[in-house]
Chains A and B, each alone.
Chain A
Amino acid sequence: MRPEASLPPVVPQAGHFGDEASRQDAAHLGMWIFIASEVMLFTALFTAYAFYRYAYPDAFHQGRLHMEVGLGTLNTYVLVTSSILVALAISAVRAGRDLRAGGLLLGALALGVVFLFIKGAEYTQHAHDGALPGAWYDFEAFSMPGASLFFTLYWVMTGVHAVHVLVGMGVLSTLAVRALSGHFSVAYHTPLELGGMYWHLVDIVWLFLWPLLYLA
């Protein structure tokens, strides 16, 4: 009854999936779990925001008066457009148009750069005002209890988000190169879908940050 121990089947690494479909399934599920994890990361920050907004309602209400609503809104459009471009890139690959997909991805990447550029302009303005986090806060025009906390949260939340944008841009550039070099096909473009999911996550987080920091 003992199996022939001498002949282990030679199966290449990662060849343990039955077929490409189940491999894609696993990759998508893994990405969704990763996204859930990322959401919890931001949840901690949103909780902190809610906590201090409850403790200092006035400061958090007036905080938006010192924000560049125009730039924030512009950034929202930039990021949403960028997300749309990624979605279009995926459908382009599905239609077998790799070059178009690569171009769209490069466009999305460029919009990411624009986003960071605008964000940087805002940061510079705040730094110039002295609206820096915590110990460095020195903003004469907005000094009331909780004001420094508002700006601290602003810096931390947008800062963590900006790091995600940076990572996302790294992902997009890799994907763009792979798309342009014909790596993807109608049958196989899982990395592109996963990268797209990540970029949408970055976008959606901003869609929560924008009202909380600029509008509310």
Chain B
Amino acid sequence: MSFEVAEPAMPREHYLNARRGAWSWLTTHDHKRIGVMFLVALLCTFLLGGMFALALRLELLTPGETVMGRLAYNRAFTLHGVIMVWLFLIPSIPTTFGNFLLPLMIGARDVAFPRLNLASFYLFVVGAVMTVWAILEGGVDTGWTFYTPYSTATGTDVLPVLMGVFVVGFSTILSGLNFITTVHTMRAPGMGWMRLPLFVWAIYGTSIIQVLATPVLGMVLLLVALERVVGVGLFDPARGGDPLLYQHLFWFYSHPAVYIMILPGMGVISEAVSAFCRKNPISYRVLVWSTVGIAFVGFLTWGHHMFVSGQSVLGAGTFSILSMLVAIFTALKIFTWTSTMYRGSIWMCTPFTYVLGFIFLLFFGGMSGVAVAVTSADLHWHDTYFVVAHFHFIMVGASLMAFLAGLHYWFPKMFGRCYPEGLGVGTAVLIIFGFITTFLPQFLLGNMGMPRRYADYPEHFQPLHVASTAGASLLGFGFLIIAAYLGWSLRHGRVAGRNPWGSRGYEWHSDSPPPEANFHEPPVFPYRPHDYSRPDLQPEVGHAA
């Protein structure tokens, strides 16, 4: 079947070289270029957030002061949280792979509103710069949650960060709006809803959350800012306000925001599982409906962040049950991905290594999530390192693994070159191992009763902290290796050819890298998405390993 081309050639003209010069990039309306620009921006913010993370782990190596004072520590963990949540994780997959691939996957020329897409990028840059400026200005020590009344009382400069996040929120809303409209109106003829690639479904669900939840965050941040500037007192008990209202409104956004971070990752994994098992997902509709279910039920679970905040007992019970319901969808996905491997043709390459890491870590992250949603267990775990470990399992263990899986899966698509496969697998194993070493001890620290956001801790917590810091350095080292070999591959990697993985994903129907107009002729998708049971109409040219 495979009549492979000996040495695939780079397409002569593609989106990277169709126009030249920095100006052509900065003013581009091409979703692919905007995706790449987002990728560059996000790698910068990830580097910054990661540096803060390493600084935190270093400080926690020993009890007492190790490398920074308490104030510096408080600022560092705040900025780590703010940068990682708003400037990396929330935009990560949608704005990079979503931007790049969504139109390709539905056979469109671009997103529905290309200019809005560029505006979204610049809003992100402006918001990010404001936030980073706040760091240079002296830092903020409220934690990424900005809980009142501390955030209205602290002497550090909260305003620029609030405004920065506000502006980034605009960018998020516009991206979401763009993607929803694109999926609704620009699908190739004949592509019904149940023929959408699963990644598109994931981005669609994410976008709905982005559009509906982000404005609430915007309003809350605005109120905190007003509170600081003119003392409106809505959250200030001294003026009759209630800090709990802040928490309700904040988590109304921020819990769905967790799904903004993980849903696109699940989409990437659905694509990658199919591509590297060469197998249709064992139940397409389960993956679709669980995505939609997460997007909607996710809005009803915010109260589980407040079991010990004096919330009513009945309220706590309700939120606990609703959280169990939303967990089901994740469980469903894990079962479906695992059973999709059955009777496949599994290729243990770099992206698939990350996929396996993702499924494994998401399972434990998800189960610990169910555990903290159990009201009585949360009495012990709330605001301890158990919670820290839980959400890092989800956000780093799952979301970031998905990001890396996507990066390695689509790197040839985006840049037309392959990376050294052996190095890729080795680094993936190193990263997964480093991750487990970093965060497994944190579960145990939580069990021991170590609260989060502690600059200093009693001595009996130290051994586990040492283990965690050691793991973090492995993790950091792993990222450096990835940066090195991907950077090298950009120029010197082997030319990938159109479809090095032999994937049936629709995005591989165009050249790699794709031409500026995405397709040379109107795309025809002859089979249902992720179908590997029939011979392909297109010859599968190119190879990676």
* A interface with B by C-beta (< 8 Å): 1-9, 11, 13-17, 22, 25-26, 29-30, 33-34, 36-38, 40-45, 47-48, 51-52, 55-56, 133-137, 145-146, 148-149, 152-153, 155-156, 160
Q: Say yes or no: is B43 at the interface (Cβ < 8 Å to chain A).
A: no
Interface residues of B (CB under 8 A from A): 11-13, 18, 29, 108-110, 112-116, 173, 176-178, 180-182, 184-186, 211-216, 218-220, 222-223, 226-227, 230-234, 236, 239-242, 245, 248-249, 252, 498, 511, 515-517, 520-521, 538-539, 541
Q: List 11 A-B contacts (CB under 8 A).
A: A3-B520, A7-B520, A26-B181, A37-B215, A41-B218, A47-B248, A52-B242, A133-B233, A136-B230, A148-B233, A152-B233
Query: When the two chains form their complex, are residues A37 and B227 in contact, meaning their CB atoms are under 8 A apart?
Result: no
Tell me whether B212 and A135 are in contact (CB under 8 A). Answer: no
A26 and B186 form a contact (CB under 8 A): yes
Given contacts A34-B177, A44-B215, contact A152 B29 (CB under 8 A): no
**Cβ–Cβ < 8 Å partners of B248 in chain A:** 47, 51
Q: Which of these, A5, A15, A44, contacts B11 with CB under 8 Å?
A: A5
Given contacts A16-B110, A29-B181, A156-B234, contact A9 B517 (CB under 8 A): yes
Asked if A33 meets B211 with Cβ closer than 8 Å, knowing A1-B539, A9-B520, the reply is yes
Contact pick for B239, options A9, A38, A55, A134, CB 8 Å: A134
- Least Cβ distance of A40 to chain B in Å? 4
Do B113 and A149 touch (CB < 8 A)? no
Q: Which residues of A contact B520 (CB under 8 A)?
A: 3-5, 7-9
With A5-B511, A6-B13 in contact, is A156–B232 under 8 Å at CB?
yes
Which secondary structure dominates chain A's binding surface?
A: helix
* B539 adjacent to A48 (CB under 8 Å): no
A146: B residues at CB distance < 8 A: 240
> Are the CB atoms of B233 and A149 closer together than 8 Å?
yes
A13 and B29 form a contact (CB under 8 A): yes
5 closest residue pairs by CB, A with B: A16-B109, A135-B231, A134-B233, A41-B215, A44-B219
With known contacts A16-B110, A149-B240, A40–B213 Cβ distance under 8 A: yes
Measured CB to CB, the nearest residue on chain A to B253 is: A44
Q: Is the CB of A134 within 8 A of B18?
A: no
Q: How far is the CB of B298 from chain A (nearest CB, A)?
A: 14
Asked if A152 and B216 make an inter-chain contact with CB atoms under 8 angstroms apart, the answer reads no
The CA-CA distance from A9 to B489 in the complex, in Å, is: 29
**A16-B109, A38-B215 as given contacts; A133 in contact with B11, CB under 8 Å:** no
B517 touching A40, Cβ below 8 Å: no
Once the chains bind, are B11 and A37 in contact (CB under 8 Å)?
A: no
A30-B112, A37-B177 are known contacts. Are A145 and B240 too (CB-CB below 8 A)? yes
Whether the pair A134, B249 counts as a contact (CB closer than 8 A) is no
Which residues of B are found within 8 Å of A33, using beta-carbon distances?
176-177, 180-181, 211
Q: How many Å lie between the Cα of A7 and that of B115 in the bound state?
A: 25
Distance to closest chain B CB from A215 (angstroms): 22
Closest to A149 in B: B240
Name, among A52, A55, A146, A152, the residue most crowded by chain B CB atoms within 10 Å (CB to CB). A152
Which residues on the A side are within 8 Å of B177 (C-beta)? 30, 33-34, 37
In contact, B186 and A48 (Cβ under 8 angstroms): no
Contact A40 B231 (CB under 8 A): no
A148 to B214, CA, bound (A): 28
Pair A29/B185 contact, Cβ less than 8 Å: yes
Residues of B within 8 A of A14 (CB): 29, 110, 114-115
Asked whether, in the complex, the Cβ of A40 is within 8 Å of the Cβ of B215, the reply is yes
- Separation of A134 and B220 alpha carbons in the complex (Å): 16
Query: With A and B bound together, what is the CA distance between A198 and B192 in angstroms?
Result: 31
Cβ-defined contact, A5 with B185, below 8 A: no
Do residues B216 and A40 form an inter-chain contact, with CB atoms below 8 A? yes
Q: Are B516 and A8 in contact (CB under 8 A)?
A: yes
Shortest beta-carbon distance from B251 to chain A in Å: 12
Q: Give the distance in Å from the alpha carbon of A33 to the alpha carbon of B539 in the complex.
A: 41
Of B220, B233, B515, B539, most buried by chain A (CB within 10 Å of CB) is B233
Min CB distance A126 to B, Å, is 14
Q: Which of A34, A40, A145, A153 has the most CB of B within 10 A?
A: A40
User: Contacts A8-B516, A55-B242 known; A133 to B216 CB distance under 8 Å?
Assistant: no
Expressed in whole angstroms, the Cα–Cα distance for A34 and B498 within the complex equals: 38
